[in-house]
Amino acid sequence: MFAIRWNYLLGKSFASEWESGRTSPEWPIHPDRVFQALTAAWAALGNTPEHEDALRWLEALPPPWIITPCENKNVFMAANPEIFVPVNDSSEHTKKGRSFPAKCVTGECALAWKEASADNGRLQAFTTICQAVTHIGMERSFVSMSVDSSYNRPADTECYYPSQEGNYRLRCAYKGRLDDLIADYADGGKHWKRPRIGKWVAYSKESSRPQSREHSEFNPYDILIYRCVDGIRLGLAQAPLVVKTFCRTLIKGADGDPVAMRLISGHEADGTVIQYAHTLIFPIGDAAHEYADGHLLGIGIALPRNFSYEETMAVKRAIVQAENPETGEICLTFGKIGSMTLASEMRDCPPLAMQARSWCRPSRDWTTITPMVCNKMPPRSKCKYDGWIIAQIADACTKIGLPVPKRIEANAVGFAEGIPTCHEISPLARRENGVDGASRWHVHVKLCFETPVQGPIILGAGRYRGYGICKPIASMEEK
């Protein structure tokens, strides 16, 4: 097993995480950081051809395994006090607060490629390059690096491995990465610019494989996300209208394909409601954090786990056909209100809310960001209401394949910031013999399960219409 190993000479890894706004340390270290450190060492050695050949061989390898000391035992958070430093581009003698997130690391780290084997020439080249590496991440993150052609994983370590079902999203090198870094740095000086981001790869942690985890009937590993890029701005209170319009746009894109139309609309050709899970369209909003204001960020699309390959491709063809062939955007028209343009989320580092893991990550605690619609009307006796609403919520969980929560809370007001109240969102009317009946009951829900449950979780009778969308929230144990 070919591996590149290193130790932190100060016992600390200084590298901040982009997705947290650089307020928390990055861990595990992304493989692309190591490749950039090797590239910097190659440049410092004079850009020799034999060293360049070794780096081009390395960038073409598949994503590596990441071996680290055990977290909470040999890896833990370092103190991160705010430090005030002078502002370089200010004529005034002012100072600005900065922090330098770090992890305390005791023990060796490594990137390992199980199937790779370097010849003697490349091993010698890597030995020279590794000896020239001074730091990974920030300049103060000093390391001692070496190469190992017959690496064996030490005891008492953790392993992160590439996996489509992974919960970690890490940057890796790719074929052509060396050329991109050379072009981005352009010999320094005025031509320098921040290097483009490496290839994002999903990773799993060896000690937390998700095979036996409770989950809903929807596939969390095939979520499509579209973000609002132009047009009118709406909030979560208008989510049912946006979901309805988006669904109609996809049906139009199906271009008469009966399979796609059935799986998107949830109805047979004769109008009969299908009795199994189908394409889920759900709103993505700015909710459940301290500064949330509840505006609509985009739309997510989730497919059931039991879809066949042909059914999945039929739905995805309809989605592609609904896009503008020139721009790849989807335009939603709301009559006199105006229109909204959405584009597929393809940014290198999208906001957390626009990442699938924000809606699918395993958690014990979940809360609705749009109210859940009850399947039945409430009892006439108010004294029976509490038991009735708890039973409705428990039944909604079991209908999508989840266990009954150990604790259930219900309220007309949301349990987090940025969530519309039940009175602010238009009620869903029940249907009796094809005639609209009374408005169904809506309620906000907070759930606590016995063990972590994987999303996406959408509850209640209106789950295909933008109601009952749940978001995981950090419990005290997870914090």
Is 430 part of any domain? yes
Is 159 part of any domain? yes
Is 42 part of any domain? yes
Same domain, 194 and 281: no
- Mean pLDDT over 44-71 rounds to 91
d(CA 69, CA 263): 47
Distant-in-sequence, close-in-space partners of 11: CB < 8 Å, separation ≥ 6? 104, 105, 106
User: Half-sphere exposure of 408 toward its Cβ, with a 13 Å CA cutoff?
Assistant: 19
How many Cβ atoms are within 10 Å of 114's Cβ, its own excluded?
Answer: 12
Which is more confident, 122 or 81? 122
- Mean pLDDT over 213-242 rounds to 90
- State yes or no: pLDDT of 104 exceeds 90: no
Same domain, 198 and 243: no
Q: What is the per-residue pLDDT for 284?
A: 95
Is 169 part of any domain? yes
Q: What is the per-residue pLDDT for 228?
A: 95
The lowest-confidence range among 106-115, 259-268, 346-355, 459-468 is 346-355
Q: How confident is the model at residue 12 (pLDDT cuts 50, 70, 90)?
A: confident
The lowest-confidence range among 83-97, 114-128, 403-417 is 83-97
Q: How far is CA 400 from CA 112, 116, 247, 252, 279, in A?
A: 40, 43, 21, 28, 13
Same domain, 173 and 230: no
- State yes or no: pLDDT of 201 exceeds 60: yes
Query: b/e string for 24-56 if b means 16 or more Cβ within 10 A?
Result: ebbbbbbbbbbbbbbbbbbbeeeeeeebeebbe
Which token pair is 272?
């009969």
Q: What is the CATH number of the domain that holds 139?
A: 3.30.70
Residue in 172, 227, 179, 167 with CA at minimum distance from that of residue 478: 167
Is 72 part of any domain? yes
Residue 17 structural domain: 2-208
d(CA 406, CA 293): 30
- Mean pLDDT over 419-435 rounds to 78
Q: What tens digit of pLDDT does each residue of 262-285 get? A: 999 999 989 898 988 999 999 999
Domain final residue pick, 156, 180, 208 = 208
Q: Percentage of residues in the chain with pLDDT exceeding 70?
A: 87
Which token pair is 464?
């295909």
d(CA 331, CA 457): 27
Same domain, 72 and 190: yes
The enclosing H or E element of 75 equals strand 75-77
Is 478 part of any domain? no
The helix-helix angle for 49-59 and 31-44 (nearest 10°) equals 170
Same domain, 175 and 296: no
Pairing type for strands 214-215 and 442-454 reads parallel
Is 352 part of any domain? yes
Same domain, 165 and 282: no
- State yes or no: pLDDT of 209 exceeds 50: no
- Mean pLDDT over 120-129 rounds to 93
Domain final residue pick, 208, 224, 257 = 208
Q: How confident is the model at residue 362 (pLDDT cuts 50, 70, 90)?
A: confident
- Mean pLDDT over 97-101 rounds to 69
- State yes or no: pLDDT of 294 exceeds 90: yes
How many domains, the chain? 2
- The maximal CA–CA distance of the chain, rounded, in angstroms, is 84
Same domain, 86 and 142: yes
Q: How confident is the model at residue 82 (pLDDT cuts 50, 70, 90)?
A: low
Q: What is the pTM of this model?
A: 0.62
Domain final residue pick, 173, 208, 243 = 208
Same domain, 183 and 219: no
CA 328 remoteness from chain centre: 22
Same domain, 174 and 75: yes
- Mean pLDDT over 3-24 rounds to 80
Q: How confident is the model at residue 477 (pLDDT cuts 50, 70, 90)?
A: very low
Q: What is the per-residue pLDDT for 195?
A: 76
Q: What is the mean pLDDT of the chain?
A: 86
Same domain, 139 and 52: yes
- State yes or no: pLDDT of 297 exceeds 90: yes
Same domain, 97 and 114: yes
Is 479 part of any domain? no
Q: What tens digit of pLDDT does each residue of 333-347 get? A: 998 889 999 999 988
The residue type found at 469 is: I
- State yes or no: pLDDT of 176 exceeds 80: yes
User: Half-sphere exposure of 177 toward its Cβ, with a 13 Å CA cutoff?
Assistant: 28
Distant-in-sequence, close-in-space partners of 337: CB < 8 Å, separation ≥ 6? 232
DSSP characters over 338-388: -EEEEEE---SS--GGGSTHHHHS-EEEEEESSPEEPSSPPPS-GGGHHHH
Q: How confident is the model at residue 478 (pLDDT cuts 50, 70, 90)?
A: very low
Instruction: Give the chain's radius of gyration (CA, Å).
Output: 26
How many Cβ atoms are within 10 Å of 325's Cβ, its own excluded?
Answer: 7
- State yes or no: pLDDT of 210 exceeds 50: no
Which is more confident, 196 or 68? 68
The lowest-confidence range among 38-47, 99-108, 303-312, 359-368 is 99-108
- Mean pLDDT over 294-313 rounds to 92
Same domain, 169 and 238: no
- State yes or no: pLDDT of 147 exceeds 70: yes
Q: How confident is the model at residue 433 (pLDDT cuts 50, 70, 90)?
A: very low
Q: How far is CA 164 from CA 200, 210, 270, in A?
A: 11, 12, 38
- Mean pLDDT over 447-458 rounds to 91
